[in-house]
């Protein structure tokens, strides 16, 4: 199907994207209901954090695709003056997308939009844990696309493993760092290029010089939205000792404001995806003294928004990706200690710093490494598609969103187009010019 050349036609790609948008619109209510079933997502949140982002991505790609896909003329050095140089955007060919369960709709459809926009054929493998959303994705893909263009393979690791045995031209994986390594190894066997969007473990610093109310609001939202099952959620807080009591009180106040006195009764509060993850998170807080929260109900996969103080940075809770509604915090007095700690850990997906002191924020941004970062916010850098969203080191490889998605799924082919007007003989043997002449020429042109 790819070799037929049809996916290379820009108008055809735009049509496919428009068809996808129309199909999503047709099933919007079902998508929202599926997200409710899988994660107890409120429809408002489903639109805000999943469906809305997908519409925006499709709209941007459809509008800008002609410009993005056009070969870009670049300068040609003066000694090659009779030639022209271009960068062509070639689709890779057959793309494999593997997605997780936490934002099961957007984390599959967003990269799919990029892969289609760039002219590839796509196989998607949604998560086996978000079944309701996987079903509706399968329905949309089957209704919308020729299966030789986009096809869904449902199932768990065994299906991924079988797919990874096949040769793809590009693999885009979102999930844990552990499975990311398995995917990377499988891709290496065929020298297949990859994007890996991996685990979070994002540190969040609260300086003493901050707007405490807004700080608490933005952290409470970033941590407890989707019941903490967010790769970009703050994994732990570093709170300056001079602001500790006020910051903690404000965060607790916000938890109650957002989810009421009893979060289990809130229609805005999510649930943990599986029993396994419920047990894993409940174990983290078992037998600990907690600052707030701690109530759980296994039958509902419910875990209350919980805060826990950590007094030793070697505490095991600091070393895991929590991926749930548990927020550990450590009280610091010295920013060096915080920066040293962050630098001693695998590189996170994002680093957050809340401060009115721009120099301090700059210091954190330049002295630590992370996929992305925010000053005075959490999560929101991923909404701006003028910046790539992705990790570094343990948190991933490559980035996407907007034009970065198009670029991720395109090979940038350097094309040199010479003419027959002139021919310079000095590169051909037998070499009759002195080496000194060539040295001077290259020095002059360089």
Is the N-terminal amide bond of 406 cis, ω within 30° of 0? no
* Residue 399 lies near ligand NAD (rule: CB under 6 A): no
CB of 346 to ligand NAD, least distance (A): 12
Nearer to ligand NAD, 198 or 338 (CB): 198
* Residue 124 lies near ligand NAD (rule: CB under 6 A): no
CB of 405 to ligand NAD, least distance (A): 13
- Closest of 426, 446, 429 to residue 437, by C-alpha: 426
Query: According to CB under 6 A, which one of 40, 121, 127, 355 is a site residue for ligand NAD?
Result: 127
Rg (CA), the chain: 25
Q: What x-and-dash track marks residues 259-298 binding ligand NAD by CB under 6 A?
A: ----------------------------------------
Q: What x-and-dash track marks residues 66-105 binding ligand NAD by CB under 6 A?
A: --------------------------------xxxxx---
Nearer to ligand NAD, 276 or 286 (CB): 276
Paired strand residues for 73: 86
DSSP string, 152-166: E---SHHHHHHHHHS
CA distances from 321 to 36, 110, 210, 264 (A): 24, 24, 26, 23
Which of 197-205, 211-219, 253-261, 404-412 is the region at the interface with ligand NAD (rule: CB under 6 A)?
197-205
* Residue 176 lies near ligand NAD (rule: CB under 6 A): yes
- As to burial, measured by CB atoms within 10 angstroms (0-12 exposed, 13-18 middle, 19+ buried), residue 342 is buried
Kindly state the DSSP code that residue 71 receives in the 8-state scheme. P
Nearer to ligand NAD, 16 or 229 (CB): 229
Query: According to CB under 6 A, which one of 302, 323, 404, 406 is a site residue for ligand NAD?
Result: 323
| Rounded CA separation 17/113 (Å) | 7
**Token pair in block for residue 310:** 């950590």
**Token pair in block for residue 187:** 């891709």
Footprint on residues 293-322 left by ligand NAD (CB under 6 A) = 321
* Residue 394 lies near ligand NAD (rule: CB under 6 A): no
* Residue 125 lies near ligand NAD (rule: CB under 6 A): yes
Which residues make Cβ contacts (< 8 Å) with residue 373, sequence separation at least 6? Answer: 350, 351, 352, 353, 364, 365, 381
Which residue's C-beta sits nearest to ligand NAD? Answer: 175
Query: According to CB under 6 A, which one of 171, 349, 361, 392 is a site residue for ligand NAD?
Result: 349
Evaluate whether 35 touches 133 at the Cβ level (below 8 Å). yes
Which residue in the list 50, 231, 304, 374 is annotated as catalytic? 231
CB of 369 to ligand NAD, least distance (A): 15
Nearer to ligand NAD, 199 or 294 (CB): 199
- Closest of 327, 335, 367 to residue 354, by C-alpha: 335
Nearer to ligand NAD, 154 or 246 (CB): 154
Query: According to CB under 6 A, which one of 161, 209, 242, 343 is a site residue for ligand NAD?
Result: 161
* Residue 397 lies near ligand NAD (rule: CB under 6 A): no
* Residue 156 lies near ligand NAD (rule: CB under 6 A): yes
CB of 397 to ligand NAD, least distance (A): 10
Which residue in the list 197, 304, 321, 394 is annotated as catalytic? 197
Phi, psi (rounded to 5 degrees) for 229: -90, 65
CB of 161 to ligand NAD, least distance (A): 5
How many helices (H) and strands (E) the chain has is answered by 15, 19
Query: According to CB under 6 A, which one of 28, 33, 128, 309 is a site residue for ligand NAD?
Result: 128
CA distances from 393 to 149, 171, 332, 396 (A): 32, 18, 26, 6
- Closest of 382, 410, 302, 323 to residue 72, by C-alpha: 410
* Residue 331 lies near ligand NAD (rule: CB under 6 A): no
* Residue 377 lies near ligand NAD (rule: CB under 6 A): no
CA distances from 419 to 20, 300, 423 (A): 43, 71, 9
| Rounded CA separation 127/321 (Å) | 19
* Residue 157 lies near ligand NAD (rule: CB under 6 A): yes
Q: Which residue has the tokens 């343990």?
A: 394
Evaluate whether 417 touches 85 at the Cβ level (below 8 Å). yes
Residue 231 annotated to the active site: yes
Query: According to CB under 6 A, which one of 40, 62, 160, 220 is a site residue for ligand NAD?
Result: 160
Q: Helix or strand or coil: residue 431?
A: coil
Helices (H), 118-239: 131-144, 157-165, 177-189, 212-224
* Residue 15 lies near ligand NAD (rule: CB under 6 A): no
Chain contacts with ligand NAD (rule: CB under 6 A): 98-102, 107, 125, 127-128, 156-157, 160-161, 174-176, 179, 182, 197-200, 231, 321, 323, 349, 391, 396
Catalytic sites, residue numbers:
197, 231
């Amino acid at each position: 199907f790819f070799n037929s050349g049809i996916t290379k036609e820009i108008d055809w790609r735009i049509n496919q994207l428009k068809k996808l948008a129309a199909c999503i619109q047709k099933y919007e209510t079902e998508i929202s209901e599926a997200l409710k079933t899988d994660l107890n997502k409120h429809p408002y949140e489903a639109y805000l954090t999943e469906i809305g982002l997908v519409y925006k991505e499709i709209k941007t790609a459809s509008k800008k695709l002609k410009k993005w896909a056009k070969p870009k003329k670049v300068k040609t050095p003066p000694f090659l003056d009779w030639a022209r140089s271009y960068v062509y955007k070639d689709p890779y060919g057959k793309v494999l997308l593997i997605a997780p369960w936490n934002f099961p709709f957007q984390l599959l459809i967003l990269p799919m939009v990029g892969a289609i926009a760039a002219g590839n054929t796509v196989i998607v493998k949604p998560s086996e844990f978000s079944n309701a959303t996987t079903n509706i994705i399968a329905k949309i893909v089957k209704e919308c696309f020729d299966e030789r263009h986009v096809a869904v393979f449902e199932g768990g690791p065994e299906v991924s493993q079988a797919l990874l045995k096949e040769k793809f031209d590009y693999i885009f994986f979102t999930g844990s760092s552990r499975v990311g390594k398995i995917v990377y190894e499988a891709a290496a066997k065929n020298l297949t290029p990859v994007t890996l969007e991996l685990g979070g473990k994002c540190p969040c610093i609260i300086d003493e010089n901050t707007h405490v109310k807004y700080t608490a609001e933005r952290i409470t939202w970033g941590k407890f939205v989707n019941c903490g099952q967010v790769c970009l959620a703050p994994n732990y807080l570093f709170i300056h000792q001079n602001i500790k009591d006020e910051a903690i009180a404000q965060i607790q106040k916000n938890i109650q404001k957002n989810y009421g006195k009893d979060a289990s009764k809130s229609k805005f509060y999510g649930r943990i995806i599986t029993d396994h993850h419920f047990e894993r998170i409940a174990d983290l807080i078992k037998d600990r003294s907690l600052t707030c929260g701690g109530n759980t109900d296994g039958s509902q996969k419910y875990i209350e928004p919980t805060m826990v103080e950590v007094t030793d940075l070697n505490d095991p809770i600091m070393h895991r990706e929590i991926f749930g509604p548990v927020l550990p915090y450590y009280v610091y007095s010295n920013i060096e200690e915080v920066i040293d700690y962050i630098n001693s850990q695998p590189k996170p997906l994002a680093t957050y710093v809340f401060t009115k002191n721009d120099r301090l924020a700059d210091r954190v941004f330049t002295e630590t490494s992370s996929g992305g970062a925010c000053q005075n916010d959490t999560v929101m850098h991923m909404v701006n598609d003028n910046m790539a969203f992705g990790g570094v080191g343990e948190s991933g490889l490559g980035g996407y969103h907007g034009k970065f998605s198009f670029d991720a799924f395109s090979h940038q082919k350097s094309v040199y187009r010479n003419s027959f007007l002139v021919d310079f003989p000095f590169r051909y043997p037998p070499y009759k010019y002195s080496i000194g002449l060539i040295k001077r020429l290259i020095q002059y042109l360089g």
